[in-house]
Copies of this chain bind each other. A is one copy, B any other.
Amino acid sequence: MSDIGITIKKAEDFSEWYTQVIIKSELADYAPIKGCMVFREHSYAIWEKIQEIFNQKIKLTGHKNVYFPMFIPESFLKKEAAHFAGFVPEVAWVTVGGDTPLEERLAVRPTSETIMYAMYAKWIRSWRDLPIKLNQWCNIVRWETSATKLFLRTREFLWQEGHTAHATKEEADREVMEILGTYKDLMEDYLAIPVLTGKKTEKEKFKGALYTTTLEAMMPDGKALQMGTSHNLGQNFSKVFDIKFIGEDEKDHYVWQTSWGISTRLIGALAMVHGDDKGLVLPPKIAPIQVVIIPITYKNADREVILEKARKTFEELRNKGIVVTLDDRVEYTPGWKFNEWELKGVPIRIEIGPRDVKQKQITLARRDTSKRIAIRNEEIANAVTELLEEIQSNLFNKAKKALDDNITTVKTYSEFKETLKEKGGFVRACWCANSTCEEKIKEETGATIRLIPFTKERVFSKCVYCGEEAGEVVYFARAY
């Protein structure tokens, strides 16, 4: 079993453990192209769940899905100067089509603001055309040069990007926060990953935005992971793309815009936060398979009776709306199957053996705690439903405790450095709001300001770096 199962403990070598979990659970694999990965069926099924949940939420609030071209002429990308400067180091360029060199090279989209807004300029005429609330699910390319990390840092990944246009700044502000709330629901209620939310500093904001809001989670190795961002773009893009509307006042106005995104890195976060030494542990609400039934048939036992009971249980759970699989493959042993489904993180395993048949019971094994419980036949559907809910909240609560335990408040720079070195996590400190201090801290410790909380927290010391008067309490961390 040892070459199939995870051979390293999560607490021992987190990075190696992570890679083994991803590959051996068959979430993903390295592609034979540097920096690229394959999303195998197990991770893609999780991505489809994320799409389903998020689509349902944003469609209810009037957003529509679309698809824009992947190629962006260099001249478009250049229109917003900060945006271009931010993205150009990581752009993959198409320079040849068939046998012919292109007159203007084309960026493979690193994000789609510029190509989408060129069309918005054409479509928007009057206040009647507003708001425009579009979203697309697509592949994105950023030519990373640092080491590949499956789901977290690859040259191609999948995401959704929302792009809206509004008549007023206030409406755009509301959109930014509405989406941030939708993201938080998805992350906390479905992925069972608690997040901190707040604003990015000027230095860390999206290149081209007025301001950026963010959701940040804490990974078990003490590094933060940016889970999603929602930007108010102000009128920065509408001015360079000339996106104007005639208002009810019959005058011309530039629109106010937002953009926002989450990506397949969420799947990496799921693995990191909930996984254990046996592999993935998936929250029931996002698991592509919630329950697996494994019949334990021995040579001399009454094989048919066991299979019959397994099939009956399968039907009963399926009719209850539970996503269940019956693993009746004959070419593998029960033990092999136990390991495989544990690796893949299925929340509940059901075992049905001779003893279960005899005692009119069914044995449930929880993936999160490894506890096994015997349930009377007639209670199985309700017991599974309740247990799925319990696993979902248990995973969230554990992760929430880990997050809370990993926020350390410091007053001095030596405490700051000590905390980062010994423990990692979020370091809560006061800051003078000067970007020089922010840069120095990053240079010296590798930590960045992950967010400024929305609700101003009470200043409790001088600036942690320069000792001058502080205006803000902020959350620092090293991050992926």
A residues contacting B by CB (< 8 A) are 29, 31-33, 36-41, 44-45, 47-48, 64-73, 76, 88-99, 105-106, 108, 115, 118-119, 122-123, 128, 134, 138-139, 141, 143, 145, 155-156, 158, 331
Smallest beta-carbon distance A72→chain B, Å: 8
CB contact under 8 A between A36 and B69, given known A64-B45, A96-B92? yes
Q: In the bound complex, what is the Cα–Cα distance between A89 and B41 (angstroms)? A: 32
21 contacts between A and B (CB under 8 A): A31-B68, A31-B115, A31-B119, A33-B72, A33-B115, A36-B71, A37-B69, A38-B67, A38-B119, A39-B66, A40-B66, A41-B65, A44-B66, A44-B67, A71-B92, A91-B98, A92-B94, A92-B96, A94-B95, A128-B331, A139-B139
Smallest beta-carbon distance A215→chain B, Å: 24
The 8 closest A-B pairs by CB, nearest first: A41-B64, A97-B143, A39-B67, A36-B69, A93-B96, A31-B69, A98-B143, A95-B95
Q: Report chain B residues within 8 Å CB of A143.
A: 97-98
Copies of the protein in its oligomer: 2
- Among A33, A115, A118, chain B packs the most CB atoms within 10 A around the CB of A33
Smallest beta-carbon distance A24→chain B, Å: 13
- Identify whether the interface residues of A are mostly helix, strand, loop, or mixed: mixed
Q: In the bound complex, what is the Cα–Cα distance between A164 and B52 (angstroms)? A: 26
Q: Among the listed B31, B33, B70, B96, which residue makes an inter-chain contact with A156, where contact means beta carbons less than 8 Å apart?
A: B70
Smallest beta-carbon distance A8→chain B, Å: 22
A33 touches B98 (CB 8 A): no
Q: In the bound complex, what is the Cα–Cα distance between A156 and B139 (angstroms)? A: 13
Smallest beta-carbon distance A135→chain B, Å: 9
In chain B, what residue has the closest Cβ to A47? B67
Q: Report chain B residues within 8 Å CB of A71.
A: 33, 36, 92, 155-156
A94 touches B67 (CB 8 A): no
Q: In the bound complex, what is the Cα–Cα distance between A39 and B69 (angstroms)? A: 9
Q: Report chain B residues within 8 Å CB of A68.
A: 31, 38-39
In chain B, what residue has the closest Cβ to A64? B41
Q: Report chain B residues within 8 Å CB of A36.
A: 69, 71
Q: Report chain B residues within 8 Å CB of A31.
A: 68-69, 115, 119
